[in-house]
Structure 1
Amino acid sequence: MIPPAPTLPDDIRQAHAAFGSWLFDRALPVWGATGCDGDADDPARLGAREQLNPDGTAADPGFKRLRVQARQLYAFTRAALYGWPGGAARAEGIYRFMRRGLRDDGGWVSRLTAGGAVLDPTADLYDLAFIIFALSWYGRLDTSGTPVHLARQTIAWLRRAMATPNGGFLDTLPRGDGPRQQNPHMHLLEAALALFETTGDESDATLAHDLVDLFRTRLFDERTGTLGEAFTDDWRPVPGAAGHLVEPGHQYEWVWLLCEYGRLTGRALPDHARILFGFGRRHGVDPETGLVRDVLRRDGAIVRGSARLWAQTEGLRAEIAMYDPASSGARIARIVDNLLGRYFTHCPPGTWNDHLDDALRPMGERIPASSFYHIVAGYAELDRLVRKG
């Protein structure tokens, strides 16, 4: 929970101003134009693009994932709610395009062609989580009730078609061969909280309660204070090295989610958030650069010291959720400095380097649209702190 603060440090306010300038003056114009697929009259007629080329031009990999459409719907919805010109039109176009992925049975497909035909009819829990999330947010912009109805319909379908007897949901339908993943369940909790905040209806909080129970009883390891990634069918860590892996970025996401759950429902889990946050601070952050590392073992040993962009924005949200007036200001400012100075530079204006190796060199050959969700969410939490402070 963010405590009341009569005066925020200047470095937080300066970080907020710099981040906001980059987002509204540089990033949104690029992703609202080149990052959308349409024409001058309707820039998002064919939804959002999956990615851009390294030079900032449009790329066409031949498919459009529903999760990316949903993430961009969220990004432009929030932009519109902030008053960014063009945000509402982009959100409406992406919403119309995304609905081409709605199946007759109430589920959603995983991929469309660039033109909107069904390419992969698989129901994927990760996709569904973001679809519910985006519809819940879009329901604050389109107040007709249809987006909220679709979000609730999707949850009802998910419970019918993909729920498992021992908690949680299948990762895909048809079911795949891999282990059960915590990641889509984490994002499903984010979606459930967004829906509950949009509607205020206690029945919409039921899924959030179920998923927090899953976290407490299955996903969280009390002995090590860590969150697992891959599980067997009965929610035990998978055998071998994979069962010992943790991602600091996901730990930080859960910190924010547990605090958000407490804020919205009144059912706080401060100890779990504190333990996850403490592990992340001790082991997940490079003390020299302040960057959040990609992958560790449960004992804190570094497996991959590279640093994804999204993990930095989740570190930002966690720092704000666990705000300490005595120490958080410098850490928050450092994360924003890293974003602006390491990820948002040496690339076309308004875009980003999505991944840095352990020598701080950019990795990857494309600029993925999917990261915009994390960027907007990170800024939004910083903005909320500043407005409250």
Structure 2
Amino acid sequence: MGDVSGRDAAALVAVRDRFAEWMFERALPFWADVGCDGTADSPACLGAQEYLTLAGVPALPAFKRVRVQARQLFVFSWAALRGWPLAAARADSLYRFLLRAYRPDGGWARLLTREGAVLDATAELYDLAFVVFALAWYARLPGPFSGEAASLARATLGWVCRTMALPDGGFRNCLPDDGQPRQQNPHMHLFEAVLALHGTTGDEGDLAMAHGLYALFLTRFQDPATGALGEYFGPDWHPAPGEQGEWTEPGHHFEWVWLLQAYSAQSGVQTHEQAARLYRFASAHGVEPRTGLVRDGVSRKGVVLRHSARLWAQGEGLRGVLAHAAADSLPLATSMATNLLDRYLSGCPQGTWIDQLDVNARPAAQRIPTSSLYHIVTAYDALDQAARGIGG
């Protein structure tokens, strides 16, 4: 991580310690209780809450997205591996609830009712990516279901390859096909899921899909002229017409920086040049200079399209900065982590968050989405690993 001064290292460790206190003393207890749906005896028997009101109370909509259930299965699997006492039991319950979305043909439904009945059987690539990701993490826990979870993750990837693959690379957004532009985002999360499965099993066969997804990133997703990361594409994998084709998200640039580092470490493929181009674009155009907040949207040419700042983009910014490993990474990472703690994880019910800030860095969220905890946990994990790496 370049030359690290004692003061910079101490500041990073201090903000990690603040973040750890929030995570293990406030957030996990809250989401293991209020954030779970069920009975007093089995708090997570009906899975995770979809979202909360701004008062920190379950909103109880009539649906539950499978991606949210999968993300929370990851959260509590991760927490169990960290030794947090209630996490393994919550993960077990979430796993059982998630299985209600498994379809007889090997796909997964995207929407359940609150009680777990299938509400929408559509198979969506974004959801399938998070199912594989969550199963890969859950398979790391000791217990009777770890082997089953890994096998189910592999089977799901096989189903995606058989039923959703496109002849010119990549995969459909969903089945039945909705006719919408092709998207970068679900492919990015599928890449993340495959890396997680390989990280669990160590089997080179589980890394196979990652090579094809990286090729798609090289040839289609990253703009060869600017280094920007496109989001929406036409049937030929060229940028979609109009504003959709111009739209990019700095948070995804930073997320890919981290993913490319992980892919390189697991595969031996050198990705530094591509990651550096992403990092330069996002840093130059996607970060508000005054506040250091990662913006929601800019064009391929770097024009700001949306000045607001979602929480998830700040977490991915932190991961990307730490993965970039430049000499100035520690001060910038400390600043980004402090932004998360002071601007997003404060001024709201304890253990929850403000999900979006407006152009003036004021709260703009209308709810507390459960799905954001995945981004917070992955950001904290990267911060903690960095702090441990410098002796903290």
One fold, TM greater than 0.5? yes
Report the AA paired with residue 26 of structure 2.
R
CA contact (8 A) 1:73 1:91 kept: yes
2:106 is aligned to 106
Question: Partner residue of 2:201?
Answer: 199
Tell me which of 151, 156, 159 is aligned to 2:158.
156
Task: Give the aligned residue type for 2:135.
Answer: L
Compute the TM-score of the two structures, normalised by the length of structure 1: 0.97
Partner of 2:349: 348
RMSD: 1.3
Alignment pair present for 1:32 and 2:17? no
Moved more, 236-245 or 160-169: 236-245
Correspondence for 2:259 among 251, 257, 277: 257
Inter-partner Cα distance in structure 1 for 2:196 and 2:130: 11
Residues 5, 262 of structure 1: CA spacing in aligned structure 2 closer, same or farther, 3 A cutoff? farther
Checking the alignment, whether the CA contact within 8 Å between 2:9 and 2:387 is kept in structure 1 is no
Structure 1, unaligned runs of 5 or more: none
Q: How does 1:87-236 map to 2 (within 5 A)?
A: 87-142=87-142, 144-236=146-238
| Alignment deviations for residues 286-319 of structure 1 (CA, whole Å, 9 cap, x no partner) | 1100000000011111110100000000000001
Q: 1:310 aligns with which of 312, 316, 319?
A: 312
Q: Is the 8 A contact 1:32 1:90 kept in 2?
A: yes
Q: Name the structure 2 match of 1:387.
A: 388
More off after superposition, 5-14 vs 24-33:
5-14
1:46 positional shift: 0.4
Per-residue deviation, 1:161: 0.6
- Residues 322, 330 of structure 2: 8 Å contact kept: no
Three-state SS of the structure 2 residue aligned to 1:145 is helix
Alignment match, 2:376: 375
Contact 2:250–2:286 (Cα < 8 Å) also in 1:
yes
Looking at structure 1, the residues matched to 288 and 189 of structure 2 have their Cα atoms a distance apart, in angstroms, of 26
CA distance in 1, matches of 2:2, 2:214: 23
* Structure 2 counterpart of 1:273, from 264, 272, 275: 275
Q: TM-score, normalised by structure 2?
A: 0.97
C-alpha contact 1:354 1:368 (8 A) present in aligned 2: yes
Measure how far apart 1:68 and its partner are.
0.2
Match of 1:74, SS state, is helix
Look up the SS of the partner of 2:33 in the other structure.
coil
Asked whether the 8 Å contact 1:4–1:388 carries over to 2, the reply is no
**Which moved further from structure 2: 51-60 or 124-133?**
51-60
Residue in 1 that maps onto 2:51:
51
2:244 equivalent in structure 1: 242
Task: State the secondary structure of the residue aligned to 2:305.
Answer: strand
Task: Describe the superposition over 1:227-258 as per-residue Cα deviations: whole angstroms up to 9, x where unpaired.
Answer: 10000111000111221111100111111111
Q: CA deviation at 1:177?
A: 2.1
1:163 counterpart letter in structure 2? A
Deviations 1:33-74 (A, max 9, x none): 000011222111000011111111111111111000000000
Could you tell me whether the CA contact under 8 Å between 1:69 and 1:98 is conserved in 2?
Answer: yes
Q: Percent of pairs identical after alignment? A: 52
Contact 1:112–1:120 (CA under 8 A) maintained in structure 2: yes
SS in 2 for 1:227: coil
Matched residue, 2:65: 65
Whichever residue aligns with residue 114 of structure 2, its letter is: A
Letter in 1 for 2:352: T
**Structure 1 327/5 Cα, relative in aligned 2: closer, same or farther at 3 Å?**
closer
Question: Residue in 2 aligned with 1:76?
Answer: 76
Q: Return the letter of the residue paired with 2:23.
A: L
Q: 2:299 aligns with which of 291, 297, 300?
A: 297
Q: Which whole-Å CA distance do the structure 1 matches of 2:222 and 2:167 have between them?
A: 19
Q: More deviation in 19-28 or 34-43?
A: 34-43
CA distance in 2, matches of 1:219, 1:90: 37
| 2: CA distance, partners of 1:72 / 1:4 | 37
How much has 1:4 moved relative to structure 2? 10
Distance in structure 1 (CA, Å) of the matches to 2:155 and 2:19? 36
* Counterpart secondary structure, 2:84: coil
SS of corresponding position for 2:103: coil
Residue 32 of structure 1 and its aligned partner are, at CA, apart by 0.5
Deviation at 1:153, TM superposition (A): 0.4
SS of alignment partner, residue 360 of structure 1? coil
The answer on whether the counterparts of 2:108 and 2:123 sit within 8 Å (CA) in structure 1 is yes
Number of equivalent positions: 387
The CA distance in 2 between the partners of 1:238 and 1:154, in whole Å, is: 29
- The answer on whether the counterparts of 2:111 and 2:121 sit within 8 Å (CA) in structure 1 is yes
DSSP 3-state at the match of 1:39: coil
Letter in 1 for 2:62: G
In 2, Cα distance between the equivalents of 1:193 and 1:3?
Answer: 26
**Structure 2 stretches lacking a partner, 5+ long:** none
CA distance, structure 1, for counterparts of residue 3 and residue 363 of structure 2: 38
